[in-house]
């Protein structure tokens, strides 16, 4: 099959179109013909030699977690996701071949019927970002009516879902983003938007019950500064892995709870998110769609930051 591959870790130019063997469906797996693949920061980190690159055991490697497409084969004749079903979900890169390819074999626990209201290209922008946001905001921070929550990088892939999930559950959201994205973030449900370039959020945000940190402590000490706005006994959820090695100790010294986060490809949660999308409660923003062959450019854009919502690679026209 045709795929976007890397033969070694390195800069974005390592990404190139090649031919790799078709994945073999086994056990409970569903074989999916991929229409589009979302591009996430973890993809770029892995390509660069960080992320999950340490578990790559064969080259060339196919990256990509997010996918949307059409079912080609299922485990049983009575499986709920029959051939022809529009689906979306997450691969288990690098345990399996990634989604930057024409076919993906994924556990049936990692794939759900795609939202009827979205094209497959739009659907490919959802799984990783939305599941991460749900895990942070709903499952970990226990979003509830009247809660005060600060969400950093609110216009990005995870951020734009995090704001919407928090607002859906009645949270009073304060969000940080650039001035260019302020109106966009307000439209998602943020009560207050702080331009991180012109204001120090810790000086104006007020006391918060929880902080969803989508930046980490690698840029302008955002993580450490976030401790200044969390009430005693409040919570910091730090999403970028390995961005704040002393997270728990630093938080404990301030009387604050803190945790990192790893997203799980859970089809049951994805099905809930599907319903929220189809009933209009949650919207998906795709910043740009590029061809699969333009994967290097997609990675450069992700690494540069300032992507509103998500970038998507078009693999095939299946809608």
Strand stretches in 172-213, DSSP E: 172-177, 192-195, 208-213
Mean pLDDT of the 198-207 span: 96
Say whether 129-259 and 2-126+284-314 share the same fold.
no
Structure tokens given for 39: 């591009």
Tokens 């591009």, residue located: 39
Which pLDDT value is given to residue 243?
A: 82
Cβ(131)–Cβ(256) under 8 Å? no
Going from the C-alpha of 121 to that of each of 37, 86, 187, 284, 315, the distances in angstroms are: 8, 11, 22, 11, 9
Which pLDDT value is given to residue 241?
A: 73
Which pLDDT value is given to residue 219?
A: 87
Which pLDDT value is given to residue 124?
A: 98
Q: Are strands 29-39 and 310-314 parallel, antiparallel or unpaired?
A: antiparallel
Mean pLDDT of the 248-270 span: 95
Give yes or no for residue 216 having a pLDDT over 90: no
Which pLDDT value is given to residue 242?
A: 77
Structure tokens given for 242: 């390995």
Which pLDDT value is given to residue 218?
A: 86
| Whole-structure pTM value | 0.97
Which pLDDT value is given to residue 319?
A: 83
Which pLDDT value is given to residue 224?
A: 93
Which residues touch 17 (CB under 8 Å, ≥6 apart)?
2, 3, 4, 5, 292, 293
Give yes or no for residue 159 having a pLDDT over 90: yes
**Percentage with pLDDT > 90 across the chain:** 96
Which pLDDT value is given to residue 178?
A: 96
Fold of 2-126+284-314: Quinone Oxidoreductase; Chain A, domain 1 (3.90.180)
φ/ψ (deg, to 5) at 211: -125, 130
pLDDT digits (tens, 9 = 90+) for 233-256: 999 999 987 788 899 999 999 999
Mean pLDDT of the 106-111 span: 96
Which pLDDT value is given to residue 172?
A: 98
Mean pLDDT of the 184-198 span: 97
The yes/no answer on whether domain 129-259 falls in CATH 3.30.2320.50 is no
Give yes or no for residue 306 having a pLDDT over 90: no
Which pLDDT value is given to residue 133?
A: 98
Q: Where are the domains of the chain?
A: 2-126+284-314, 129-259
Give yes or no for residue 204 having a pLDDT over 80: yes
Residue 51 falls in which region: left (phi positive, over 0), alpha (psi -120 to 50) or beta: left
Give yes or no for residue 138 having a pLDDT over 90: yes
pLDDT digits (tens, 9 = 90+) for 36-92: 999 999 999 999 999 999 999 999 999 999 999 999 999 999 999 999 999 999 999
Exposure pattern of 160-175 as b/e (b: 16+ CB <10 Å)?
Answer: bbbbbbbbeeebbbbb
């Amino acid at each position: 099959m045709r795929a976007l591959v890397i033969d070694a870790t390195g800069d974005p130019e390592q990404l190139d179109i090649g031919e790799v063997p078709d994945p073999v469906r086994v056990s409970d797996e569903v074989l999916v013909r991929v229409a589009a693949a979302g591009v996430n920061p973890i993809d770029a980190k892995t390509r660069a030699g960080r992320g999950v690159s340490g578990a790559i055991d064969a080259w060339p490697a196919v990256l990509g977690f997010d996918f949307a497409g059409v079912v080609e084969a299922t485990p049983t004749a009575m499986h709920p996701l029959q051939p022809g079903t529009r689906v979306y979900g997450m691969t288990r890169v690098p345990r399996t071949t990634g989604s930057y390819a024409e076919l993906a074999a994924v556990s049936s626990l990692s794939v759900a019927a795609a939202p009827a209201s979205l094209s497959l290209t739009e659907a490919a922008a959802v799984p990783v970002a939305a599941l991460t946001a749900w895990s942070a905001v709903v499952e970990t921070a226990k979003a509830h009516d009247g809660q005060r929550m600060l969400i950093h990088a609110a216009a990005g892939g995870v951020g734009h879902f995090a704001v919407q999930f928090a607002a859906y559950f009645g949270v009073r959201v304060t969000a940080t983003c650039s001035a260019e994205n302020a109106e966009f973030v307000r439209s998602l449900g943020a009560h207050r938007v702080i331009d991180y370039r012109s204001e120090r959020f810790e000086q104006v945000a007020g006391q918060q019950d929880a902080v969803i940190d989508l930046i980490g402590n690698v840029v302008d000490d955002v993580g450490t500064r976030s401790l200044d706005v969390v009430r005693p006994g409040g919570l910091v959820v730090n999403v970028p892995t390995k961005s704040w090695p002393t997270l728990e100790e630093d938080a404990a010294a301030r009387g604050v709870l803190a945790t990192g986060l790893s997203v799980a490809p859970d089809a049951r949660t994805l099905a809930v998110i599907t319903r929220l999308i189809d009933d209009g409660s949650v919207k998906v923003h795709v910043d740009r769609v590029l061809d699969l062959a333009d994967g290097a450019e997609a990675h450069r854009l992700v690494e540069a930051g300032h992507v509103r919502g998500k970038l998507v690679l078009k693999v095939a026209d299946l809608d």
